[in-house]
Amino acid sequence: MATFIPPTERRNPSPHLPFGDHRDAPFYGHDILSVAQFGRNDLEYIFGVAKEMRAMVERVGTFDLLKGKILANLFYEPSTRTSSSFTAAMERLGGSVIPINEVHYSSVAKGESLPDTIRSLECYADVIVLRHPEVGSADVAARYARKPIINGGDGVGEHPTQALLDLFTIMEELGRVDGLTVTMLGDLKYGRTVHSLARLLSLFDINLRYVAPEILAMPPALVQELDAKGIPQTSVTTLEPVLPDTDVLYVTRVQKERFEDQEQYEQVKGAYVITPDTMEQAKDEMIVMHPLPRVGEISMELDTDPRAAYFRQMEYGLYLRMALLAMVLGKA
Ligand code: NCD
């Protein structure tokens, strides 16, 4: 007896290849789940597209590359920058957005499973950005979805689009990545941005320094992973010994929401505060980055220092996310 093939499957022989777009474009129909999927050539390509996006935004502001396309922003965890920059990116490209930020008000609060939510949303949208508290949630979503899934942060796992925009920031601000010393400071245990960034940086000839209280150290499995790639890594608990050599100081927030024991959070929350005084020991030509939000780890007095790159970093993020959307939708 012949097996019944539903019409949608017949129209989409490959799960991520709907009709009507340029199938030969790199990344067309791809998910963006982890930085592990990128090599140096890919990065060069993505950053090239991001630069074109910047030029277009500066010239015309908004244009119609993704006119008629719809992005679903599905956020199970709080977000300001990631969700709004994806919204801005989609709208600057002429597309539109279904924002689902308060999942308590949606069917998820009624007990709907992630695969069902994804399979429903993809009936309306062309691409889905997912932020979810569980590690591996974006992979689960991608397994069920026919449309591209972009991981906007899966718990303490990865935040690949943040790492891409971080690397783009370093390239644009310092002109190179090879040969740099990058110091990551703060919550290296729960901070998904540093997990993704460290992995992405391991494609380069880089020196990594980790500054964290012992209980917030970089996960040993990740240190081993980079060790196996020959990346020099040093872990310390104070910034002073490593600051003078640092080219990029990447500061992170202590991730209060990940602590099971709030007393432990109270003990480490103010562990580091970067002030203009701290920066006297730093090079003139270096940058301070932060994925934001900051909750006291960088004093506002530092904001006027030209080395403070964290707000410029957000702007690079817009161009980078425009590039990613255009790429997975086959228009770049
Ligand atoms: C980060 C995140 O969500 O992991 N924020 C962001 O996406 N810019 C960092 C954080 O919340 O501390």
Spatial strand order of the sheet with 233-236 comes to 233-236, 207-211, 181-185, 248-251, 287-289
Residue among 154, 159, 164 whose CB has most ligand 1 atoms within 8 A, to mutate: 159
Instruction: Please tell me the distance from the alpha carbon of residue 255 to that of residue 294, in angstroms, as a whole number.
Output: 11
Residue type at 286? M
Residue among 35, 77, 162, 188 whose CB has most ligand 1 atoms within 8 A, to mutate: 162
pLDDT for 309 = 98
β strands within 27-132, DSSP E: 70-75, 96-100, 127-132
Residue located via tokens 């780890």:
297
Instruction: Please tell me the distance from the alpha carbon of residue 85 to that of residue 79, in angstroms, as a whole number.
Output: 10
Residue nearest to atom 12 of ligand 1 (CA): 253
Residue nearest to atom 8 of ligand 1 (CA): 291
Radius of gyration of the chain (CA): 20
Q: How far is the CA of 208 from the centre of ligand 1 (A)?
A: 20
- Could you give the angle at the alpha carbon of 315 between the alpha carbons of 310 and 321, nearest 5°? 120
pLDDT for 11 = 45
Residue nearest to atom 7 of ligand 1 (CA): 82
CB-hemisphere CA count at 13 Å for 91?
10
Residue located via tokens 């109270």:
266
pLDDT for 223 = 98
pLDDT for 103 = 73
**Ligand 1 atom nearest 192 alpha carbon:** 4
Q: How far is the CA of 22 from the centre of ligand 1 (A)?
A: 33
**Ligand 1 atom nearest 82 alpha carbon:** 7
pLDDT tens digits, residue range 32-47?
A: 999 999 999 999 999 9
Which residues' Cβ are closer than 6 Å to ligand 1?
81-82, 153, 159, 162, 192-193, 253, 291-292
Residue 223 tokens, joined = 């240190």
CB-based contact 290:251 (threshold 8 Å): yes
- Structure pTM? 0.92
Which stretches in the chain have pLDDT values below 70?
Answer: 1-2, 5-23, 102, 104-111
pLDDT for 292 = 96
Q: Under DSSP, is residue 23 helix (H, G, I), strand (E, B) or coil?
A: coil
